[in-house]
Amino acid sequence: MKVIIGISDMRIGTKADDVLITYSLGSCIGVVLWDPDAKVGALLHYMLPDSGIDASRAATKPFMFADKGVPRMFKEIYKHGAKKSRMKVYVVGGSQVMDEAGMFNIGKRNQMIIRKMFMKNNVMITREDVGGNVNRTISLEVGTGLVRMKVSGKGEVIL
Amino acid sequence: MSRIDEILNIANHLPPFPKVALQVMKMLNDPKVKAKDLAKVIKYDSAITANLLKTCNAAYFGLSRKVSSLDDALVIVGQDILKDIIIASSSSRFYKGGAGEGYELEQGELWRHSVATAIMAKLLAKHFPKVSPDTAFTAGLLHDIGKRFLSSFVASDFAKIVKLAYGGKMSFVEAEKEVLGMTHAELGGMIMERWEFDEELRRAVRQHHDPDALEKGELTALLAIANTQVITLGVGAGADGLTGKLHGEGLKKYGISSLDLECYLAELLTEMDKAEEMFALAE
């Protein structure tokens, strides 16, 4: 079944025919986890780095923020038998418009926080495609672990 | 006919903006205008009337009770909100079907982007003392109207434009100018003129991709920020992606920090959840 993940959301896929997909990642970041043995996958579409800006929204929409959403995503997928040592990890998105003043650099801040979190928790990134000024769509086939990425103006690739 | 003449020809043979909307907007500037006078005019346009009833119960507008008839709506809905609803109900007809296809936008995405920009513009309006919230909303709804009409030209020269836009130096808009001789923002400004919107709105639409937009008039600055925010979020960012340029230093003079921009994105997402009825107008 095709499962669409909206902005500030996360879903787990456990069936072989599940396809998790999130459209149009601009400065937002899409994180894909897949465990080849447990045959379980997850896709998160977070929007902002730090929930410190809005504690009440973080309580209702934890997947809006990297600092709340990423740990929660790992906790959820562990419940389905996934193990950190086996997991494939993909990070995609974090673009931004061209602004030398860096005022609109949410994309960069979104990239920095996940790198920091992964380093601290010994999570290895399998593949990443971040930054630049493109718009990305990413999907995961839960049965096979195939991760497809479509990039604005450039077409589709397999990660 | 040269390419640029073909594009100008579009502006000359444009479908009109609903007369009823323009008339109602004028009437709403008069604080003494009565609901029954408004009703008389609005009833002339059945599409606007239907859309008005469809949208005014959206949670976004936060009405205290459900509206079921036009007369009812005109009594309950405040004038400021009524302006937003009328302009949305009138503009949506231009965003139906494959509007924006040439930019690799799926059906309804150009409208979704426009509504989101309108919502963001209204959120930002408090930083801009010279801009009224309903003008900000209108600017957001119509800023990409040029895309609707430039779409087929972009489609026929797509490969050339994309190559320039992702070559490293040029933005998508600059590539439009280079290949087609005109940008969607410039065409949008002309369309706004044909539709008899005032100079402030025309200028903002024309300049919304100017890298120095924040140094221009307040409405231009506001619109450029709102559009950049929505593109950043990826809503209606098609083939042009995030290739725009905008010098952000100017944000400071409006008292907007980069953290504020994050907060507004969070707020936008919440507001969009309440505005489904508006998004549905172009279906």
Q: Do B104 and A152 touch (CB under 8 A)?
A: yes
Calpha distance B189→A18 (Å, rounded): 46
Distance CA A39, CA B86 (A): 51
Q: Which two tokens stand for residue A101?
A: 């003043």
Among B162, B235, B248, whose Cβ lies nearest the Cβ of A99?
B248
B104, B243, B266: residue with CB nearest A57: B266
Residues A95, A135: contact at Cβ < 8 Å?
yes
Q: Which residues of B touch A106 (CB under 8 A)?
A: 232, 258, 261-262, 265
Closest Cβ–Cβ partner in B171, B231, B239 for A153: B239
Q: Is B100 on the interface with A (CB under 8 A)?
A: no
pLDDT at position B78, please?
84
Question: Domains plus CATH for chain A?
Answer: 2-158 (3.30.1330.200)
C-beta atoms of B235 and A27 within 8 A = no
Mutate to test the interface with A, among B109, B127, B265 (most CBs of A within 10 A): B265
* Kind of pairing between the strands at A136-141 and A147-151: antiparallel
Q: Which 3 state secondary structure label does DSSP give A23?
A: strand
Each residue's pLDDT tens digit, A13-24: 999 999 999 999
Any idea which residues of A carry the catalytic annotation? 28
CATH number at residue B272: 1.10.3210.10
Q: Give the domain extent around B274.
A: 3-282
Question: Looking at beta carbons, which residues of chain B come within 8 Å of A24?
Answer: 234-235, 237
pLDDT value for A152: 86
Chain-chain contact of A97 with B259 (C-beta, under 8 angstroms) = no
* Count of the separate structural domains present in chain B: 1
Mutate to test the interface with B, among A133, A134, A154, A156 (most CBs of B within 10 A): A133
Residue by residue, pLDDT tens for chain B (283 residues) are: 788 899 999 888 899 999 999 899 889 888 888 888 999 999 999 999 999 999 998 999 988 888 889 988 988 888 888 999 999 999 999 999 888 999 999 999 999 999 999 999 999 999 999 999 999 999 999 999 999 999 999 999 999 999 998 887 889 999 999 999 999 999 999 999 999 999 999 999 999 999 999 999 999 999 999 999 999 999 998 898 898 999 999 999 999 999 999 999 999 999 999 999 999 999 8
Enter the tokens of residue B269: 């997402």
Out of A24, A48, A61, the one facing B234 most closely (by C-beta) is A24
B residues 154-213 lying closer than 8 A (beta carbon) to A? 162, 165-166, 171, 211
**Listing from the earlier edge strand, what are the strands of the sheet with A88-93?**
A9-13, A40-46, A29-35, A88-93, A127-130
Q: How many helices (H) and strands (E) does chain B have?
A: 16, 0
Q: Which residue's structure tokens are 């043979």? A: B13
| pLDDT value for B3 | 85
> Cβ of B263 under 8 Å from any chain A Cβ?
yes
